[in-house]
Amino acid sequence: MKKIMLFVLALCLCVTAFGAAFAETAEADATAAESSAAEVPAAEAPKAEMTTEELYQAGLNALNAEDYGKALEYFQPAADAGQIEACGVVGALYEAGVGVEQDYGKAMEYFLKGADLGDTVSLYALGNLYFLGEGVEQDYGKAMEYYQMAADAGDADALGSVGYLYDHGLGVEQDYGKALEWYQKAAEQGSPMALNNLGDFYEYGKGVEQDYAKAMEYYQQAADKGLAFAYTGLGDLYRGGKGVEKDLLKAGEYYKKALDQGANIDATEAKENMDELAVSLRQAGLDAYYANDYSKAMEYFQLAADLGNIESWRSIGFLYQWGFGVEQDFDRALEYYHLAADQNDVKTLVNLGTMYLNGQGLEQDSGKAIEYYQKAADLGEPMGLYCMGYMYGVGIGVEQDYGKAMEYYQKAADQGNAEALIDLGYMYDKALGVEQDYAKAFEYYQKAADLGNATAIFNVGFMYYFGLGAEQDYGKAYDCLQRAADLGVPSAMFGLGEFFYEGKGAEKDPDKAAEWYRKALDAGYEPDETDQEHLKALLGDEYQQK
């Protein structure tokens, strides 16, 4: 459940309230107000010659100019002289430590003075001090006392805070009915936070019958009144398909709007919900990517990244690196990779290494590639270990060393890296740095095949076909090649053509053989001399044209 908004005093709200109160006082006598405004001395005028209202107005002017120290110089003597609103402002400045060293004792002193003079904002602020335990021992009962007094005087935020205490059973017995009643009173006075909390009540059926339409209505009203946090409620409705069609993108857009408008959702359940949503958006992006819908993948990844999903920055970089769904742009790829790497995304180190290895967007540098691969490997990243094995196996940027290659491959394979399993199998298959051992090769190929790796599945089929490391079995070989061909492996497609051409493991069928040969060529298969003889025999002039 999303954590509802807490009614706490913020300096900006405090100042707004004081400014409004001052305006209401001025409106009581328009002529007097105009005269007073005209007579307000310049900021440097002697304070001793100023009336309390002039001091207060000068304080507001300084506050609006964000000169908080100067503002306190005017507000404090006004408060000491009994100017009601000034008491609350001075208390707020001391509480927040703005323009003066933070001092909860001083804040309490001025809030009490304002409360004694009947200032509802000061009463509400005292409730906050006890609620938060700032300068006093936390006491929800005392917080309720002050909130109640401010609420009885009509303070909208206090009305909401009384509701919050009943909602959560803080200082009072939990009572959703009473909480709802107080939230409604605050909402009637236009409190955005109360509107948001009513949305929460209707979304989860707390003290009322669950009603997603009403929840959306209240969240929207709160958002329209400028409460950025309320967009998280709207996002949750779309995230869960509550009263609306489930729409992760729309949900993400609402959460992004909340962040863009400054909502502080840290340490709230909304943060957990947003993080879960970002993960869901990333997964939707991956699903779109594997379905070859790269534009949609980018849309999901971008929104997930906007919500703080680091892995999505890497995914966006990958799309730019290889030009999937966007124009290939190495600079943008590097930009996103560095964003992810700066947040310690280990997999991104591998991608940066590959860009250096291929010279994509920067000068080709195998040494820098190894540097990034080694960093990833040192952190235990399987692909980093695999890439280091590859560099040693092939001898790129380092002296070729099959022993070190096998060492890195094995570490990666132990973590289930299919590519490393295949290369280990290949080393035993071709006797690279080890004694040739087809049984070992088959074992590693099979482990990678069990992980769904298409190349490994083809290799297992190849071993079955020739009886290498396993008993010769054309049926199993055919099944493996069919699976690999379905996964897009050109060699497997050509191999199926060979089955039908030679009649091994399948009935001889030139037409089917030709069909698979064509698929293999279209998929990019490059035939050797023996293959070319079969192709010429079955495809004739058609093969020559290809």
pLDDT band at 46 (very low <50, low <70, confident <90, very high): low
Question: What pLDDT, on a 0 to 100 scale, did the predictor assign at position 47?
Answer: 65
The answer, yes or no, to whether residue 246 has pLDDT greater than 60, is yes
The answer, yes or no, to whether residue 369 has pLDDT greater than 50, is yes
Q: Pick from 270, 271, 343, 355: which is nearest to 313 by CA?
A: 343
Question: What pLDDT, on a 0 to 100 scale, did the predictor assign at position 316?
Answer: 97
- Assess contact for 68 and 89: CB atoms under 8 A: no
Q: For the chain, first and last CA: distance in Å?
A: 62
Question: Which residue type sits at 14?
Answer: C
The answer, yes or no, to whether residue 197 has pLDDT greater than 80, is yes
- Assess contact for 234 and 220: CB atoms under 8 A: yes
- Grouping H, G, I as helix, E, B as strand and the rest as coil, residue 190 is coil
d(CA 255, CA 293): 24
Question: What pLDDT, on a 0 to 100 scale, did the predictor assign at position 347?
Answer: 95
Across the chain, mean pLDDT equals: 89
Which stretches of 5-153 are DSSP H helices?
11-27, 30-39, 52-64, 68-80, 84-96, 104-116, 120-132, 140-152
pLDDT band at 186 (very low <50, low <70, confident <90, very high): very high
The answer, yes or no, to whether residue 530 has pLDDT greater than 80, is yes
Question: What pLDDT, on a 0 to 100 scale, did the predictor assign at position 543?
Answer: 72
Q: Pick from 375, 310, 379, 299: which is nearest to 339 by CA?
A: 310
Question: Which residue type sits at 478?
Answer: Y
The answer, yes or no, to whether residue 518 has pLDDT greater than 80, is yes
Mean pLDDT, range 290-314, rounded to an integer: 96
Mean pLDDT, range 270-298, rounded to an integer: 95
Vertex 326 angle, CA 324 and 327, to 5°: 105
Mean pLDDT, range 494-519, rounded to an integer: 91
Please state, in angstroms and as integers, the Cα–Cα distance from residue 543 to each residue in 325, 498, 512, following that order: 33, 16, 16
Question: What pLDDT, on a 0 to 100 scale, did the predictor assign at position 247?
Answer: 96
The answer, yes or no, to whether residue 37 has pLDDT greater than 90, is no
Please state, in angstroms and as integers, the Cα–Cα distance from residue 34 to each residue in 18, 23, 26, following that order: 19, 11, 8
d(CA 456, CA 442): 10
The answer, yes or no, to whether residue 1 has pLDDT greater than 60, is no
Question: Which residue type sits at 222?
Answer: A
Mean pLDDT, range 348-360, rounded to an integer: 95
Q: Pick from 370, 314, 316: which is nearest to 346 by CA?
A: 314
The answer, yes or no, to whether residue 214 has pLDDT greater than 50, is yes
DSSP structural state of residue 342: H
Backbone conformation region of residue 234, classed left if phi is above 0, alpha if psi is from -120 to 50, else beta: alpha
Question: What pLDDT, on a 0 to 100 scale, did the predictor assign at position 537?
Answer: 85
Q: Exposed (0-12), middle (13-18) or buried (19+): which is 226, by Cβ within 10 Å?
A: exposed
d(CA 75, CA 498): 93
The answer, yes or no, to whether residue 2 has pLDDT greater than 70, is no
Q: Does the model's pTM come out above 0.85? A: no
pLDDT (tens digit per residue) in 62-108: 999 999 999 999 999 999 999 999 999 999 999 999 999 999 999 99
The answer, yes or no, to whether residue 436 has pLDDT greater than 60, is yes
Task: Find the helix or strand (DSSP H, E) in which 465 lies.
Answer: helix 454-466
- Give the pair of three-digit tokens for residue 273: 């919900």
The answer, yes or no, to whether residue 408 has pLDDT greater than 60, is yes
For the chain, which domains are there?
A: 1-138 (1.25.40.10), 488-546 (no CATH)
Question: What pLDDT, on a 0 to 100 scale, did the predictor assign at position 533?
Answer: 87
The answer, yes or no, to whether residue 504 has pLDDT greater than 80, is yes
What DSSP line would sit under 252-307, residue for residue?
A: HHHHHHHHHTT---TTSHHHHHHHHHHHHHHHHHHHHHHTT-HHHHHHHHHHHHHT
Question: What pLDDT, on a 0 to 100 scale, did the predictor assign at position 271?
Answer: 92
pLDDT (tens digit per residue) in 6-26: 443 333 333 333 333 323 322
Question: What pLDDT, on a 0 to 100 scale, did the predictor assign at position 6?
Answer: 45
